[in-house]
Structure 1
Amino acid sequence: MTIAASLPIAHRQGNLAPLCAAAATYLLLLVSGDGLLHDPDTLWQIKVGQWILDHRAVPWTDVYSLTRQGDVWLSTSWLSQVLFAATYSHWGWAGPVILAATAIAAAMGLLLALLQRHLTLPYALVFCLLAMTLATPHLLARPHVLALPVMVGWAGALMAAADRGRAPSFLLLPLMVLWANLHGGFVLGLALIGAIGLESLWRAAPARRLALTLKWVAFGLAALVASCCTPYGLDTLLGALRILSLGTSFAVIAEWRPADFSSFSPFAGALLALLGLALSRGLSLSPPRVLLILIATWMALAHIRSIETFGILVPLVLAQPLGTGIRPTASDAPRALWMVPPAPAALVIVMAVASATAALVAHHAFAFSATQTPVAAVDVLSERKGARIFNSYGFGGYLIVRDIKPFVDGRSELYGEKFLMDYFAAEDGRDVAGLLRMLDDNRIDATLLTADSPAAQILDHIRGWKRLYADAIAVIHVRDEQQATTPPK
């Protein structure tokens, strides 16, 4: 970034900066690549992707779980799963790490390019750093990161159209097709059409508003059709909406919990900085832009998973109003949306990044987080031929990889709100009777729970169950038929 900023020709600064930012982001993620492998969902995502490759089809029903076998389940991230599975089969864990790091880096570079249309490089970099910081806890080798550059490009292009008081080009529709096949978050992209479209109408002359409204409506309908260009067709929308219908169970799933302000966090700092910016600069935003910021803030407050959306969307909304105050002269007119960096310099950067990647992969073996993989415990269960297992939520993905049907796993939309609420109440020790009922009704012969699970502590004192194995990661309990049939003294 220092090199890019020192170039004497202004347009070259603008052209090289996004590529430099993308390269720096990629290398940073690659060096800390094991940090991208800290989510058990990555395991079953790869397993599903391999199933799709093997069967040349997408799943319509569940084939993995113990409790939902045969129920309807659509993989709304099928393309991401295929990409992760293909890279994993060829390069081991280095494949998903490189794939995820590339997508995240592309998103950050693209965000910087979009912001530079209105902001000078230092201001644009600050916003990109903020977005990266807010997204860091959720930067994992999972489908949502592959869709991240698509989300940035889609939201940025819509805002660019609104800034000009125009309707977006239909050439953007392939982005929606790609997004809908990569991740179920494409529903956000559809919602943004209406929210950002209001800004375009606000800026347009009254005589143009009717015609412009019709263009935005036409684009919205076309985007809706484009989102159904997947192997599931119209059912793509139904599959994505099932995730949004989990209701109160969001509160017990870690990534869907509300934001916590009991201690200072980057998100709290971002909200305070946003408030300070508004107060110090006296920003006057149009009502549609205020609405966009309020919606993004509410989403981030309601679900920590949406904090990364806040970090990307808010800078795009603020860029044009801030740029007007920072660079009011005619010579600082917005740059073109797409800028190609100088070919020789770009080639040098790409080759340097490729060389660094090859060198690191040759000397470092990426490995999935050991705390998410109860290897030794599952080995014990396999030796005992355990088949009906009650497991902690985070162990479901690993059980799927080991071809053991989990009681529950990260596909929350498959299990539904009631099942998840009952399960977490039982596993957390808040409903002991419910726990025992689940074990009996599902004919569970063994449990695989985290070492600190309240349910594991409870089973230590429940007649008919005995602790078979324990380590720092997992605890196994099995039925003790002899104790169960022996009358208490």
Structure 2
Amino acid sequence: MIDAQPRRLILLASTGLAVATAVAGIGPLSDPDAWWNLRAGQYLLATGRFDGPDPWSRFSSHDFVLTEWLGSVVAARAYDLAGPPALVWLRTLGAVVVVAVLLLTCREIAPVPTAVSGALVGLVGLSGSLAERPQTLGLALYAVSLLGWRHAALRSRAATWWMVPLTWVAAASHGYWILGIAVGLATTAGLALDDRSRDRLGHNALVLVASVAAAGLTPVGPRLLTMPFKVHGAAAGLVGEWDRASLDHPLVLISLGTIAAVCLLWVRTGTSWWQASHLALALAFTATYSRLTAPAMLLAAPLLAESLNRLLNPSRKGVDKPDPWERKAFAVAAMAVLLLGAALAPSTARDLRHTPTALAATLAAIPAGTVVFNDYNVSSWMLYHDPDLQLVIDSRLEVFSDDWVKAYSNALSAGPGWQDFVGSTDASEAVLRSDRPLVARLVNQGWLEVAAADGYLVLRKPG
């Protein structure tokens, strides 16, 4: 076994990881999509409805199905108690949980220095997905699922049944639940190639089947099983995080660099089929959508820590278990981040990024029921802060038809037929980013500029 790490090294490692987690988790409210999730949570608490005819938009074509209800309800309850600072602190809590689970995963197969190094690399790659909405909760539950599958593979044990209720909670939180199933499939397939016990493989398959069944037993019902695949085509084109992976995206480059580093290390150290399946899955995530770089890094970071440890300590078998002092050091570091997040939340929550808060008074003066041709990027914020206005589109793209989304996107670009679409909405106000081609066309049609702030304009139809 490897000797226990010096306390000074542990203290330095825990402090460094705490600082990195605080930087990633504490900050202004920067995710505009948080607001519609907040309204959804309040709607569920008030009505008890998980689905049904859309209650908010007359332009929707499909029923509203609240799939991410658990995180939305938690956020709504917290917001009712403490307001915007609660969202900042919940994001900080999510960051601490994700990093803690990632560290535990790395620590199983590497000593403190290498484990913390792997966790830091993983944190850098996933930091862009730590937001004040249910996605962070989904990412944390996915990390726990990954830890469970790795734990079973490393110890040549069958997957444990606690993954079934975990999948139910994950499915009630975010679409990332399906990624946990993908990890289970990849692990089981890799173990089969490693010639593990057929009984164990059969047990793993039963756990996976039961987990999928559990996801279909949330209040949303079996249709939840297909919801992760609903955003595509024109709808995906409006959502930045659904952009196809590109080499000009820094987080994609970090993920690909980590995967490449693991491959190079494996040339020297070798690996197993189940670990290779995890790396292949990480590559598949990275190459698909930019939003999947975070789950990819949670897969790749432990593989990097383990291969580094095997390269640096080729003659040593096993890894020393954390002693009580090490556990206390990292626990204190986590508590320090949470306390700092709580202390800074009131001040950081006053800073709303990517949101035209200076237009709030102007929007509040618009008569109730007015149709507003809104920019997609502010739809979530307006959906919460201006609930009496009728928005042409909002962040819940799944409730709108593909034809409507395509026509809306075409109008934003002032494409052929944009006048017909804008006219069909009966919009008499518009809230648009100032650089949208549609703005110039509306001004040429006589629309008047009422207010401008934060890169957005409020326009009013003449007459």
Question: Same fold by TM-score, threshold 0.5 exceeded?
Answer: yes
TM bin, normalised by shorter chain, reads 0.7 to 0.9
How many residues end up aligned between the 2 structures? 457
CA distance in 1, matches of 2:103, 2:43: 37
**How many angstroms does 1:393 deviate by?**
0.3
- Mapped pair 1:436 → 2:428: no
Deviations 1:26-54 (A, max 9, x none): 54356x421xx112111111111111122
Alignment partner of 2:289 out of 303, 322, 330:
303
TM-score under structure 1 normalisation?
A: 0.83
CA distance in 1, matches of 2:402, 2:57: 16
- Mapped pair 1:203 → 2:185: no
**How many angstroms does 1:416 deviate by?**
4.7
Aligned residue type for 1:471: A
Shift in alpha-carbon separation, 1:95–1:203, aligned structure 2, 3 A = same
Instruction: Give 3-state SS (helix, strand or coil) of 1:460's partner.
Output: helix
My pick for the range that moved more, 439-448 or 82-91, is 439-448
CA distance in 2, matches of 1:313, 1:46: 30
In the other structure, the counterpart of 1:154 is 145
CA distance in 1, matches of 2:436, 2:405: 16
Aligned residue type for 2:372: I
Shift in alpha-carbon separation, 1:177–1:437, aligned structure 2, 3 A = same
- Mapped pair 1:141 → 2:126: no
Shift in alpha-carbon separation, 1:340–1:92, aligned structure 2, 3 A = farther
**How many angstroms does 1:410 deviate by?**
1.5
In the other structure, the counterpart of 1:52 is 44
Write out aligned runs for 1:361-440 (5 A). 361=345, 364=347, 366-369=349-352, 371-376=354-359, 379-380=362-363, 382-385=365-368, 387-401=370-384, 402-403=386-387, 404-429=389-414, 431-433=415-417, 435-440=418-423
Shift in alpha-carbon separation, 1:73–1:351, aligned structure 2, 3 A = closer
**How many angstroms does 1:241 deviate by?**
3.4
Write out aligned runs for 1:21-420 (5 A). 23-29=18-24, 32-34=26-28, 37-68=29-60, 71-205=62-196, 208-209=197-198, 211-243=199-231, 246-247=232-233, 249-262=235-248, 265-279=250-264, 282-283=267-268, 284-329=270-315, 332-334=317-319, 352=336, 356-357=340-341, 359-361=343-345, 364=347, 366-369=349-352, 371-376=354-359, 379-380=362-363, 382-385=365-368, 387-401=370-384, 402-403=386-387, 404-420=389-405
CA distance in 1, matches of 2:138, 2:159: 20
In the other structure, the counterpart of 2:7 is 7
What RMSD, in angstroms, separates the aligned Cα atoms of the two structures?
A: 3.1
Retained in 1: the 8 A contact 2:129–2:135? no
Instruction: Give 3-state SS (helix, strand or coil) of 1:198's partner.
Output: helix
Aligned residue type for 1:425: N
Aligned residue type for 1:441: S
Q: What is the percent sequence identity of the aligned residues?
A: 20
Deviations 1:211-245 (A, max 9, x none): 233212211111112223321222322333323xx
Retained in 1: the 8 A contact 2:69–2:172? yes
Gap runs ≥5 in structure 1: 482-489
Shift in alpha-carbon separation, 1:372–1:425, aligned structure 2, 3 A = same
Retained in 1: the 8 A contact 2:105–2:147? yes
Deviations 1:119-152 (A, max 9, x none): 2222222221122112222221011101222111
Retained in 2: the 8 A contact 1:87–1:95? yes
Retained in 1: the 8 A contact 2:17–2:116? no
TM-score under structure 2 normalisation?
A: 0.87
My pick for the range that moved more, 279-288 or 341-350, is 341-350
CA distance in 1, matches of 2:454, 2:188: 53
Shift in alpha-carbon separation, 1:470–1:94, aligned structure 2, 3 A = closer
Instruction: Give 3-state SS (helix, strand or coil) of 1:68's partner.
Output: coil
Gap runs ≥5 in structure 2: none
Shift in alpha-carbon separation, 1:186–1:18, aligned structure 2, 3 A = farther
Retained in 1: the 8 A contact 2:359–2:452? no
Retained in 2: the 8 A contact 1:66–1:388? no
Aligned residue type for 1:305: R
Work out which structure has the larger RCO, using CA pairs closer than 8 Å and 6 or more positions apart in sequence: 2
CA distance in 2, matches of 1:22, 1:226: 35
Aligned residue type for 1:148: L
In the other structure, the counterpart of 1:486 is none
CA distance in 1, matches of 2:348, 2:416: 43
